Amino acid sequence: MAKKNKTPWPTRAVMNQIYEQHLWGGKAYDFYSGFGSHDPTIVEPYLEAIKAFIKSHINTLEVCDLGCGDFNIGKHLVKHTKKYIAIDIVESLINRNKKLFHNKNLEFHCLDIAKDEIPLADCVILRQVLQHLSNSEIKHVIEKLVNFKYIILTEHLPIGVFTPNQDIISGQGIRLKLNSGVNLLEPPFNFKIKDEKQLHEHILEEKSGRIVTTLYQTF
């Protein structure tokens, strides 16, 4: 059972505000996790890549989705897993997801992944989550990632050469405006892995970056 630290961090208040005020768009929705979770040109090839990896383990993978959002992505993956644990920092969002999505191998938890203990699984999915966090919070998340054999990380990155891991204040924005993006293998994180493989890359229009999904194996 994951342990929840009751002391709030500012990130929880920021993420609540983002969903309450629809700062990522989608005012027609009750909760909306941004175009990256709804644009078919982004979502469909991403899902095909992730499904292919999960299916290669013949329904034996336990998956922990850190930052599951409105679950427009995760709902397509649950049936291919042995167990699917979906986590988000926004309590009202998790309560909503619990009402909408049901499966015998699916469970939802409201946790702050930087501060709280998170459930163990074979594989962790972090889809465009770390890009919104400060370096300090990312370091706290990394301390827990060593417990997962597989990490599927998706990040919005600049096109071409960029300086990785410029620090930001956790919130709505990302490092793109600093010509930066998250790279866990570079300082100050220096995350140690056994192997890596790029699963998918989507180039956004108008040179607004690229969304890259990488599979890391830690042991």
Q: Which residues contact 30 (CB under 8 A, 6 or more apart)?
A: 96
Looking at CATH, the fold of the domain delimited by 10-217 is given as: Rossmann fold (3.40.50)
pLDDT tens profile 29-73: 999 999 999 999 999 999 999 999 999 998 899 999 999 999 999
Per-residue confidence (pLDDT) for residue 7, from 0 to 100 = 45
SS3 32: coil
Per-residue confidence (pLDDT) for residue 35, from 0 to 100 = 93
Beta strands 106-110 and 62-66 are: unpaired
Domain boundaries, the chain: 10-217
- Positions in the chain short of pLDDT 70: 1-9
Per-residue confidence (pLDDT) for residue 172, from 0 to 100 = 84
DSSP code per residue over 116-171: S-----SEEEEES-GGGS-HHHHHHHHHHHTT-SEEEEEEEE-SSS--TT----SS
